[in-house]
Amino acid sequence: MTIEAIQEELIDEFSLFDDWMQKYEYMIDLGKSLPLIDPSLKTDDRLIKGCQSKVWLHSELENDKVVFTADSDAIITKGIVAILIRVFSNQKPEDIVAANTDFIDEIGLKEHLSPTRANGLVSMVKQMKLYAIAYQTQLKN
């Protein structure tokens, strides 16, 4: 499934909810569905800078696609990173680098987050794209 198709799916899913309390509950459920990250991957070098909560993000290149795993010590933040993993994991590095993130605004996520959580969201996207750039460079060499 393409990044755009996954983003459209998320927009459709979030549009099913009438209010933001329901959307937060859905995000929390998405966070709970994240596979557990290996505790050995919860290292300082995998912490996302700029997040109020602790968010560990790990990536690997498998069959020329980037696979992300993550965890957070906060349930809303874990839901946010679960959304991003759903969009970007198992995608080619160049597709991640080129992807726009307008879907975040379309589901209303940024405007319903506290400023520090919104900054954390931006930091997560930035870090995922940085990993993708590194893998893109690695594949070219």
pLDDT at residue 134 greater than cutoff 90: yes
* CA angle (92 as vertex; 90, 93 as ends), nearest 5: 115
Q: Report the number of distinct structural domains present in the chain.
A: 1
Share of the chain above pLDDT 70, in %: 100
Q: What is the CATH number of the domain that holds 114?
A: 3.90.1010.10
135 exposed, middle or buried (CB, 10 Å; 0-12, 13-18, 19+)?
Answer: buried
- Is the pLDDT at 125 greater than 90? The verdict is yes
pLDDT attached to residue 139 = 85
51 is catalytic: yes
- pLDDT tens for 98-114 read 999 999 999 988 888 88
**Single-letter code of the amino acid located at 103:** F
Confidence (pTM): 0.94
Burial of 54 (0-12, 13-18, 19+ CB in 10 A): middle
Percentage, residues of the chain above pLDDT 90: 82
pLDDT at 113: 87
Catalytic pick from 3, 48, 51, 81?
51
46 has a pLDDT exceeding 80: yes
Range of the domain at 89: 3-140
